[in-house]
Structure formats: C-alpha cells, structure tokens
Structure 1
Amino acid sequence: MAGENNKVVIVTGGSSGIGRCTASALKENGCIVYEFSRRNIPMEGVTHLSVDVTDEDAVNAAVQQVIQKETKIDAVINCAGFGISGAVEFTSMEQAKAQFDVNFFGTVTVNKAVLPFMRHQGKGHIVNISSVAAVAHIPFQTFYSASKAAVSSYSYALANEVKPYGIHVTVVELGDICTGFTKARQKSILGDDEYGGRISRSVSQMEQDEQNGMDPARIGRYIAGIVEKKNPAVVYVAGAQYKFLSLLCKLLPAAARGKIVGKIYG
C-alpha cells in the first residue's frame, strides 16, 4: 500500500515511447506506477496491467484493482494513442473512428473511471497528452489532428468541471519526438496520383521531422515534473520552438496559419 508521500500514478500506453519514458521518470521520482497497455514489456519497479483503453470494462476493472491495492490514485497520465495518415477522401470511416476511439475516447474512458475516486478523496491530477497538431491542423494527418484537438478542448472544459473538487486537469501539447510512433503510424497513400504526390511528400516530411525530434526520455522527465507541481497549469507545450509555433497558430488569422502549414505539409 502506498505511503502518504508516495504518489500513485497510472500511465496509459506505458509499454513504449513517451508512455514508457514517463513511467520510468515517475518511478525514479519515487512514485508508485501502474502501466496500462495491451503489451507486457516488463519495467523494473513498474506494475503492468493488461488494458485496452477502448475496453471500458477492462479499464474499470484495472482502476478498481489499483484502488484495492493502494486505496488512492493521485494522478493519471493518458499517453495511449496512435496515428493514421492519408487523404480524408480516401480514409475509411472505420480507420477514422478507430483514431478517435483510442486517442480521444480512450482518454475519456480512463478519466471517467478515475474521477469518482479523485472526487471522493478531494484531490487528483489528470494529464492528457495532446499535440501541437491540435492547433497547427496538419493536412493528410487530418484525423490525428482532429483527435488531438478534441483532447485539448475536452481538457480545458473538464478542468473547470472538476476544479471545485481539488482535481487538476492538464493537457500537454507535444511536438516532434523521436519514438516508435513514426514506424507504427498507419499510412495510406491511396489517391496519391489524384493528389499530385502530395500525400506521400507530406507524410515523408512529417516522418523526417519526427526522426529529428526531441528525445522521448527528456519528454518523460518533463511530464513527470508536471505531476510534481502543486498548482499545475491547464496547458503546457514542450520545447521552446513548439511553444512559439503554438502561440503563432493561436494568434495568426486562419488564412495566414493555413498558408504556413500548407507550405510545409500541404
């Protein structure tokens, strides 16, 4: 059972990439860490629970298991997610819905499961991982961008709903990070001829940016540091260049923003 000073933290998508690095950093900070993912890739000092975040029953059972063992949940970090790419016109509804089922509704399902316990204990911290794509709106990654925009908007609204109960909600908008996320992306170049080769060129540019992106271990430590804050902000953007990009996207008129993003990825 957790001591008073040991934070109990759940990390989803903790078997790889940012989730795994975050779980490791939290463990190094002295937290009791439970990692929710479909794959069991053992990490010393971190407890794995086999959970698909799109399975509400599995999520509820796993959260109940943590409560029974630790009697509390101090923080949840929703890292589970994946990406698809391709032209909207040629993307199946099944693919589009799957993108939202994991990236958005997976986050919602986990938070819905922990909120009653956090509200009862009068404290807690929910950290939802989003992307600068939520404000930059990347063509040919439209459904990924939309799913992350949904996560960000949801987080801002949820923060006000649960603030009176001592629960903090934070959304972390990330930029390009060098992880297995790039290789795992479900790519489709259907319609590339019709779109003049723009689909493949756009995704190739994105993948190049990702492979030259930030170190995931650094991001893991950054997210773990947010969990340690007594009064965390509602939104954080990791990396100076992405903070600037995010601010620029929010300040520029839509036409100007679209022109810049379109020149890079369109």
Structure 2
Amino acid sequence: MESKQKRTALVTGGSSGIGRCTVAALSKAGYIVYEFSRRDVPVEGVKHMCVDVTDEASVQEAVGQILLERGSIEILVNCAGFGISGAVEFTELKQAKAQFDVNFFGTVNVSRAVLPSMRRQHRGHIVNISSVAAVAHIPFQAFYSASKAAVSSYSCALDNEVSPYGVRVTAVELGDIHTGFTQARQKIVLGDDEYGGRISHGVSQMEKDELSGMSPEIIGTYIARIAQKKNCAPICVAGVKYKILRFLCKILPCTLRGKIVGSIYAK
C-alpha cells in the first residue's frame, strides 16, 4: 500500500551518464522511477522499458502502461540525446535530421504523451535537458547547438501554455560533463583539410573540456532536485561558471560573442 502512495517519475535516456545518475537520485528521493532507453542496464529499484523516443507509437504505448500501473506521472525528465560534430558543409542532411529526431523531437514525443494526464491531475513537472551550447553556438557543433536551442525555446513556450493547469516545464542547460557522451559523439572529419585542421582542433578542444568537466553524479542530483520543485524558472543552468557564461552570451553583442567562442573552438 505504501508504494502506491509514492509519486512516479519517468526518465528517458536512463541507461547511462546523466540520465542514469538522475534515475538513481530520483529513486533515492523516494520516487517510483521508470526509465526509457534502448539498452537494459539495470539500476536497483528502477523499472526499465525498452523504448526508442523517436518512435511516437512506442512512446504512447509505454506511457499508457505506466499510467495503468501507477495512475499518474508527476515528473518527466527528458535526458535522451546524442551529439554530432563536424562542419555544416560536410554533414549529411540525414545525420542532421537524426540529431533533431532524438534531441528535439524525442523530447516532444515523450512530453506530448505525458501532458494530458498531467494537465488533468493539475500537477506535474517536465524537465528537458538542454545545453549552454543553445546560447554559446559552438562552431563545428552547429546541429547539436541548434537542437539544444530548440529544446530551450520549446520548453519556455510550453511552460507558458501549461502552467495555468499546474504543470511546469524547465530546460536545464548543462556545460561540460565527464560522461560517455564524449566517446559516443559521432565525429565527422570530412573537410578538415579544406578547413585547415580547424574541425579536428575544435572538436578536440571540446572533448578536452568535457573530460575535465563536472561529474554526472553531481548533475544527476541537481536535475533531480530541480525536478522536485513545484515552482521553477523555465531555464536553469547548472554550475556558477556556466550561469556566468549564459549571462554573458545573452548580453554581449553577437559579433563579440562569436569572436570569443570562435577563438576557443574555431581557430
């Protein structure tokens, strides 16, 4: 009877990295946690469901099953995502579309599936994982940056749509995190000669920063804490230096901001 009184959380991309740490943090906080991913990497006390977030029918079916078992979903954390890198000129359109299919439309698919029940129960919090790349606009990661900018904009707009019904939406913009995301990045090195080695240099610098970044356990705990808040800003940034970075990106003239970012990742 006690377990039935616990609130329910759903995390996508929960088999590794930030998603896995968020799953663990929410479970520790007392939630019944379900995780969507294509791989089953067991986490004690967490219910895995093999779901591809780009498959709308599969997402709807899985969310329906959770609602049948639990009656409600109080928290959704959209962590599923991946990165591609390379010059826009040499990135095939199918790869760019795949980036958006997972990072953006995957988020949309799962959010749309849980929204009707959240709206009817007049409570719920959707947390979408974004990146400071949404405002820093990283060269040679243009499609990743664009997909995360879409997630942040979508989250702010959706929050306005559903907040009158007791549902809040937050985009958590992250900086460099030391996870397997770095090794999993799909690197496109075509055109590196034409671009004077700037593609490989820029990506190498980004990976160096990620490998010295924050731990996923700290970030998972942070995300879980944000997810449990009843009232939260539509945009939250993890880490003081990234809060400062986002602030500077918003106030600096676009040309100056571009020169600064370019001096790091596009020289």
TM-score, normalized by the shorter chain, greater than 0.5: yes
Distance 2:165 2:229 in 1: 17
**Can you give the 5+ residue segments of structure 1 that lack an aligned partner in the other structure?**
none
Q: Which amino acid aligns with 2:205?
A: Q
**What does 1:135-214 correspond to in 2, within 5 Å?**
135-214=135-214
State the SS of the aligned residue for 1:59. helix
- Give 1:23-62 correspondences, 5 Å limit: 23-62=23-62
Moved segments of 4+, more than 6 Å: none
Quote the offset at 1:232 in angstroms: 1.6
Q: Distance in 2 between matches of 1:34 and 1:233?
A: 25
Q: Distance in 1 between matches of 2:194 and 2:218?
A: 41
Shift of 1:112: 0.5
CA distance in 2, matches of 1:26, 1:120: 23
Matched letter for residue 185 of structure 1: R
SS of 2:256 mapped into structure 1: helix
Q: Measure how far apart 1:233 and its partner are.
A: 1.6
Aligned partner of 2:88 in structure 1 is 88
SS state of the match for residue 168, structure 1? strand
**1:230 CA displacement:** 2.3
Query: Hey, what does 1:19 align to over in structure 2?
Result: 19
CA distance in 1, matches of 2:228, 2:172: 14
1:108, 1:192 → 2: CA distance?
34
CA offset at residue 234 of structure 1? 1.2
Q: Distance in 1 between matches of 2:155 and 2:257?
A: 23
TM-superposition CA deviations, 1:31-88 (whole Å, max 9, x none): 1100000000011000000000000011001100100000000010000000000000
Structure 1 residue matching 2:14: 3-state secondary structure: coil
2:228 counterpart of 1:237: no
Query: Could you tell me whether the CA contact under 8 Å between 2:172 and 2:235 is conserved in 1?
Result: yes
TM-score, with length taken from structure 1: 0.98
Distance 2:62 2:107 in 1: 14
Mapped partners of 2:231, 2:147: distance in 1: 27
Contact 2:40 2:48 in 1 (8 A): yes
1:158-201 CA-partner distances (Å, limit 9, x unpaired): 00000111000011000000000000000011000000000000
Q: Does the Cα contact within 8 Å between 2:75 and 2:228 map onto a contact in 1?
A: no
- Say if 2:106 is the partner of 1:115: no
Q: Give yes or no for contact 2:82–2:184 (8 Å, CA) kept in 1.
A: yes
Partner of 2:69: 69
> Which ranges of structure 2 fall in alignment gaps of 5 or more residues?
none
The residue that corresponds to 1:226 in the other structure is 226
* Distance in 1 (alpha carbons) for counterparts of 2:186 and 2:206: 13
Cα deviation 1:117-145 (Å, max 9, x = unaligned): 10111111000000000000000000000
- Equivalent-residue separation in structure 2 for 1:81 and 1:149 (angstroms): 14
Matched residue count: 265
RMSD: 0.8
Partners of 1:232 and 1:66 in 2: CA distance: 25
Distance in structure 1 (CA, Å) of the matches to 2:176 and 2:7:
29
The offset of 1:231, in angstroms, is 1.3
